[in-house]
Amino acid sequence: MKPQHQHDQKQMPPRPVGRSGMLGQLADFLDDRTGYRAVMHEALYERVPGGARWRYVWGSALVFAFMTQVITGLVLWASYSASAQTAWESVYYIQHEMTGGWLLRGIHHVMAQALVVLLALHLMQVVIDGAYRAPREVNFWLGLVLMMLVLGMALTGYLLPWDQKGYWATRVATNLAGLVPLVGPSLQQVVVGGPDYGHHTLTRFFAIHAGFLPVTLVLMLVVHLSLFRKHGLCAKQPIVRPDAMFWPDQVLKDAVAMLAVMAVVLGVILMPALRAMLEGRPIVPGELGAELGAPADPSLPYAAARPEWYFLFLFQFLKVFEGFGASGEFFGAIVVPGLVMGVMFLMPILGRWQLGHRFNVAFTFALLAGIGLLTAMATNEDYAALWADRGAFADVEKLLEETENDKAKIAAHFGNDAAKIAAFEARVKKLDRIRHSQSFLDAVALAKADAARSIELAGRPERIPPAGMMELVRNDALSQGPKLFAQHCASCHAHVDPGAPEAQAVLAKASAANLHGFGTAAWMRGLLDPKQVAGPAYFGNTAHKEDDMVNFVQNDLTDAATWKPDDIEAVIVAMAAEAGLAAAGTPPAVIEKGRGLVADGERCGSCHRFTPNETAHGSAPDLTGWGSREWLVGLIVDPTHERFYGDSNDRMPSFGKAEEAAAPILTRRQIEMIADWLRGDWYRPTGHAH
């Protein structure tokens, strides 16, 4: 037996000492020089009054969750690059290309949420048990500080992928910080790392997230745990069962809790994989775990911006103060949360009285209930359209459209019956809520599509340019084409599949040709169809409605003596070939025949110029290279050019022509992206059919 050194005041089971054998001798050697057995003994043989209980597991589960974040965070750190041009890119690389990156990032992301949930449970248990009472007040305060540190880490971590979601949420959070009296604007500028968001926002948030906060947290945690050991466990009263030791009874319960937490985290990550497997879809590991949105773009509206779910209540709470301006926001974002934290800091003092303790418990429950309610409200506002029956409001929508939301007309419709008007207005409000929710859901769907496209582009064999992902996204015809079209073309032109159910309604609103499938044989077939040429999909709503082309299609083309169906089909195919969009396997002979017919001075060539006939520009658009990228770009740049419509141009602006020292409406690149998008010409990953 070796002499015992210290720490034998408590009655504890005898410590194992003086082993024989190689391992035992090595252990003795180490113990003599480090005293590790005493430390281990001290750590493991803590008395648990009344025996081990499940209700004591929350603290250990929290430490476990935090340690998981440290491990996963350090490895993520080893592959993360904090700058505006590399943050998204490096996270993409982690998530989609590094082995196990999706799993590691998934654990980090989901465990962060588990940490917040466990914090709430730990706090609740401490308050209910009155564990903040003397002498444990300081430890309770430390716990509250630890909670704020964890929430701070959650907030700062959200930005680091530099995707749309994190970027916009952080703009809101930092703007709220700017509301703090006196120091607000300076505080915001220090946190953001300058007057605007960029490299230093990321370096700072990263340093705060992975440096300042966790180091502070670990120091506080050490004090928190040693104070916990000093005061001992605050046992559930009355104690009926005999005391037990922390090891192994309570450790087993703690370990089971940890395992349960990890199982839930893994379950959340792997659930979509299981679903995919059951539905027979392929499992894409990069799509599991944490989401990665499209890269941050300050120039792009992002209506899907929401904080992480555990901050949703604050987001919703702030809506209460809408309409009160900055002072309202200051009140909602800083004063009220400050007061709530103030009350929580006072809990140990209030808890000295039995009534005070009851108040504390009631306050905590009320707070959690309030948070739950606000979260539910926020969720309901966003997702109501998923479960609401919009069809039930069809009459309301119809009336609103008919009356153009004119109050007088609506009143007249209801014969000025106040009760009926009020009932109608109540239904309008309900409909508005569904509409709001629908626009949020649409924004989410758009954000998902943008994210998927960004990820597709990042996987190109040429990889991401040194200037970063934004350069690729901003120059991608598939992402930018529809947005540019909506902004600059859609006020006149439709872009709708003629076979789609909503096609007729969309076409009725358009005042220029439907450009869906422009350049293809199908589009040309419609143009040369006597029934369609003067319809809304082609010239029906334009100044060309009664022009020569309509006349030609309706009268000349229907004359089977000069135009056999085969001839018309040959022209159609030849035009698609000019655009470079002819169907694969089209016989060259047919194309040649069509080209001949187009060039024929007695047929198309009488108005249109076409390469073989060397005439000057005709009275109608040049068909040489019709629908090709070059042709389409030229048309959008300047439709009034004599190569296209010349003087007979209807209303189309010259998008690429500088007018009287003013810059063109669109840049060359923007016009190219519209043309590429219309022609369906954009990057597709190999092995994916469009």
Partner 1 sequence: MSQHDTPAASAADRRGFMTKLLAIMCGGLATLPPLVAGLWMFLDPLRRRGAAATFLPVTDLASVPDDGIPRQFAVVSDRIDAWTGFAAEPIGAVYLRREKGSDTVQALSATCPHAGCFVEIESQERCFRCPCHNSKFMLDGGMVAPSPSPRAMDGLECQVAKNGEIAVKWQNFYTGIADKVARP
Site residues (vs partner 1, CB under 8 A): 64, 67-68, 71-72, 74-75, 78-79, 86, 89-90, 92-94, 97-101, 103-104, 107, 247-249, 251-252, 254-256, 258-259, 261-262, 265-266, 458, 462-466
* Shorter beta-carbon distance to partner 1: residue 114 or 384: 114
For the chain, state the CA radius of gyration: 35
Give the shortest CB-670-to-partner 1 separation in angstroms. 23
Give the shortest CB-72-to-partner 1 separation in angstroms. 5
* Shorter beta-carbon distance to partner 1: residue 92 or 311: 92
Give the shortest CB-475-to-partner 1 separation in angstroms. 14
Give the shortest CB-168-to-partner 1 separation in angstroms. 23
* Shorter beta-carbon distance to partner 1: residue 116 or 258: 258
Alpha-carbon span 239 to 129, nearest angstrom: 13
Alpha-carbon span 533 to 547, nearest angstrom: 11
Cβ contacts of 147 within 8 Å, gap of 6 or more: 119, 123
Alpha-carbon span 143 to 62, nearest angstrom: 11
Give the shortest CB-269-to-partner 1 separation in angstroms. 9
One-letter identity of residue 166: G
Give the shortest CB-172-to-partner 1 separation in angstroms. 29
Alpha helix segments (H runs only) across 629-667 = 629-637
Give the shortest CB-99-to-partner 1 separation in angstroms. 5
Tokens found for residue 45: 């043989």
* Shorter beta-carbon distance to partner 1: residue 217 or 489: 217
* Shorter beta-carbon distance to partner 1: residue 79 or 640: 79
* Shorter beta-carbon distance to partner 1: residue 98 or 120: 98
Q: Is 332 exposed, middle or buried (0-12, 13-18, 19+ CB in 10 A)?
A: buried
Give the shortest CB-245-to-partner 1 separation in angstroms. 10
Instruction: Tell me which H or E stretch contains 514.
Output: strand 512-514
* Shorter beta-carbon distance to partner 1: residue 72 or 174: 72
Residues in the chain: 690
Three-class DSSP category at 254: helix
* Shorter beta-carbon distance to partner 1: residue 301 or 465: 465
Tokens found for residue 501: 């159910």
Contacts 24+ apart (CB under 8 A), 33-42: 35/5, 38/5, 38/6, 38/7, 41/7, 41/12, 41/15, 42/7
Please give, one letter per residue, the 3-state secondary structure of 560-626: CCCCCHHHHHHHHHHHHHHCCCCCCCCCHHHHHHHHHHHHCCCCHHHCECECCECCCCCCECCCCCC
